[in-house]
Chain A
Amino acid sequence: MNPKQPPSLATWMLEHLVPGERNEALDGDLLEEFHCGRSTVWYWRQALAAIAIGCLREILIHRTALLFAALWSMLAPAWLLIVANIEQHYNLGQRFWQMDWPWSTLCDLGLLLGVNVLFIWIGIVLYLLPDLWVAKSLGLWRIGKGILASLPVLFALWLALIVLSKIFLTGQVVDQHSVAPASTYSIGDVAPIEIQQPSPAEQWDVQYGDKVTDPYINPRNAILDMRTTTLFVRLPFFLCLLCTLWGISSHSQGRRSRIIA
C-alpha cells in the first residue's frame, strides 16, 4: 500500500457509512491530518469514531420513533392473539378453506396480511397524530406516504424473517406451555417451529372454557411474554415501524430534535 494514501476501506466507510448529511469537510480534515504524518491506525480510529458518532446522533434525533416502535411492537402478540380469537370464534379459517380456489387462498392471505398491516398502520397514525394536531406540520399526505411506505418494508422483512426462521428455528421443540401462544402468534408463519398442536377442542377449552388452565393465553400475558419466539414475532413489526417512522420523520422531527440536542 502506498504510505501516502490513507486506507481505502476506511475512506470508503467514512464516505458511505456515516449516516445523515455527508460531511466533506470532515473527510478533508482527516485526509489533511494523514498527509501531515498521522498514522494509518489513527486514520482508522477517526473513521470508526466518526461512524459511531454519526449513528449515535441519528439515534438521538429519532429517539421518539425508536421508543414508539419498541413500545408499539410490544403489543403485537396481544393484537395477534385477539385477532386469532376472533378468527377462531367465527371459524374463519374453516370457512375460507371451504371456498373454491383461488378464493380460499386469497381470503386466507388477505386476512393474514390485513391483520399485520392494520396493526402497523394504526401505529403510524397514532405516532403522527400529535404532530398533526399540535404542530400542524404534517399533512394527511404525510400519513398516507407513511402508510404506503410501510408495505414494501413489511413484506421485505417478512420474507427475510421467514427465510431466517427456516434456517435457524427448524427442528426446535417447545414445551407445552409455549404451544398455545406461540402457535397463535405465528399467524404470519414467522416462526414455523415444530410444535405439537392441541386439538381444536383443547384450544377451545383453554381459551373459552370455564377453567383457563394455561396462564399464557390472555392479551396481558402476551404483552409481557419475553420468550425468544415471541420476540421474534415482534421483530418485523418493530423494524417495519422503525424504518417507516424514521423515514417520514427525518425532515420534520429531525430538524427540531437537532436544535434541541
Chain B
Amino acid sequence: MEHYTMNLTLKVWRQKNSQDKGRFETYEVKNISSEMSFLEMFDVLNEQLIAEGKDPIAFDHDCREGICGMCSMYINGRPHGPWQHNTVCQLHMRAYKDGDTIVVEPWRAKAFPVIKDLVVDRSAFDRIIQAGGYISVNTGNAVDANAIPIEKEKADAAFAAAACIGCGACVAACKNSSAMLFLSAKVSHLALLPQGEPERKTRVLNMVAQMDKEGFGSCTFTEACEAVCPKGISVTNISRLNKEYLVAGLTEDKR
C-alpha cells in the first residue's frame, strides 16, 4: 500500500462525567500516517493534549486486534467507522484523506450511560447474560466431549452466532437502541446446540425480560445492526429469537 500523511480536523464529544451535559470540541492533528490505526491517531492527539497540559480524551480500548469488544466509537454517524465487519481498533487511517473532518461520539443509548467522554457503561449486557445466557453445568460433571455428535451445519451456525464480541455497536446503530442482535446471538448459539436444550425455554424468556428491564428499545427490523456488526452476526438470529420466544411463551408453564 502506498504510504501518505494527512492533516485532519476532529470533532470529539467531551463529557466530564455522567452528570455533565457534554459538548463537541474541535482538534487539529497533523502528519497522521496512513498506516496508523484510528486509535493510534487518538494516541497522537492525546499525547498532544497532555503536552499542552489539557485533559486527554477518555476512550475504551484494550486488545486492539478486533476481538475484545472494548473499543466503541461512533464515527461520522456510524459505529466503528466506515469499514464493513470492523472494529475501531482495526480501522486504519488509509480510510481517510488529507483535510478530512471526522466527528467522533460515544455509543448513544439510554441503557449505555456515558461514564466519561467516549466511555460508556455496558454492564447491562452482563446482566442479560446473567439472566440465562449460559448452560448450567458445574465443573466436573461433563461426559466425554465426543459422546454427543453435533451436525457440522448446526455447530457452524452456533459458532457464527457465538462470534459476537459484545461491543454494543448493534445498539448504537439502532434508532430504537434495541439489543436484539446481541441477545439473539446468544440465544441462537445456545439453542442450536443439544447441550442448550434443557434450559431452552426459560433462557429465552428470562433474557428477553431482562433486556426490557434494562431500557433497551424494541426491534423494528431495520437491519442497521447487522450492517455495522464487526463480526457479521446475521439478523436471521433475530428471527430465530422471535420463534424461540413465541414457542417458549406459548408452551412454558405459567410460573
Q: A and B, one complex?
A: no
**A residues whose Cβ falls under 8 Å from a Cβ of B:** none
